[in-house]
Amino acid sequence: MSYVGPDFDPPQPRRFRRGPLTVALAALVPGALIGWFVYEAVGGPGDSGRAAAGTSATAPGVSSSPSVTASNDDKPPNSRPLTGKVVVIDPGHNVTNFQHTAEINRKVDIGTNWKECDTTGTSTNSGYAEAQFTMDVSHRLRKILERQGATVKLTHDGGSPAWGPCVDERAKIGNAAHADAAISIHADGAPAGDRGFHVILPASVHAGGADTRAIVAPSAVLGRNIESDYRRVTGEQPSNYVGDGTGLVTRKDLGGLNLSTVPKVFIECGNMRDSKDAALLTNGVWRQAAAQGISEGIVSFLRG
């Protein structure tokens, strides 16, 4: 999320190949992951035959015993723990932002100061855009949460709107939905060698149109739950460059948090500019684990 530099090339359209699902491949992983490979058999955004991304289908870094439920579709309604809950997912950036530089460079009030409406986001060195990653994980996360009974809303989806939305609008969408929990999905663009994930919590802000005082405490609980479950399910380690190894960071310069009136956090799922993290982020099996880990943190928070 944080990388905006002169050597960032706008994401270009890519042609994706769909690899076969083999018996030998299924034998390499726990039975709980088989459902993921079924998804991979029909392909997922960001996977170019997997080999091109330098990743293997065994999803290096995924916990050997992730607590994954392949499907809750056949469960009776009273077994769906999120029935009646509303979750808003904010996929960071937008794949077409680079075509709307004037619009996304417009400044908006985030309470503590004025910032750009949005940015292009970062990408891996091979050109896999952060916005592609965030949308893919958001779709996976939505499916998991809906299977558990939640009402899920995305701040944008499938090119609608055509750019953005601006960070203040993203916060307003969660507020208007009266979300029980909201999360913004990102991946970082730090220097190579900086690895790991971190969850960003809202600081206490009371300035301009921002007042986070009521959501600081519940957001911290949400963030801690997500940090713990994300680490356990994915095997990804907390950031080695921010957060002092806790996987948690508090910030007051993000409009999506400052302007939220519902419990909300950001997650930087890994560093796209580091080759080892990029190998995970470009792997569809690992992205499914990422969505699962995030979902389990949200469930833990909503169930109290």
**Residue owning tokens 């706008």:** 10
Beta partners for residue 153, in sequence order = 88
Domains of the chain by start residue, with CATH: 81-303 (3.40.630.40)
Q: What is the mean pLDDT of residues 148-177?
A: 96
pLDDT score at 63: 53
CA distance 3 to 6: 10
The pLDDT tens digits of the residues spanning 80-100 come to 899 999 999 999 999 999 999
85 within 8 A of 149, measured Cβ to Cβ: yes
The pLDDT tens digits of the residues spanning 121-151 come to 999 999 999 999 999 999 999 999 999 999 9
Start-to-end Cα distance in the chain? 30
In the chain, % of residues over pLDDT 90? 72
The pLDDT tens digits of the residues spanning 5-55 come to 333 344 444 433 444 433 333 343 344 343 443 344 334 545 643 333 333
Hey, CA dihedral for 210, 214, 220, 221, is it positive or negative?
negative
For residues 267 and 60, the model is more confident at 267
- Residue of 169, 227, 268, 296 marked active site: 268
Q: What is the pTM of this model?
A: 0.80
Q: What is the mean pLDDT of residues 205-220?
A: 97
Residue-averaged pLDDT of the chain: 83
Task: Mark whether 268 is an active-site residue.
Answer: yes
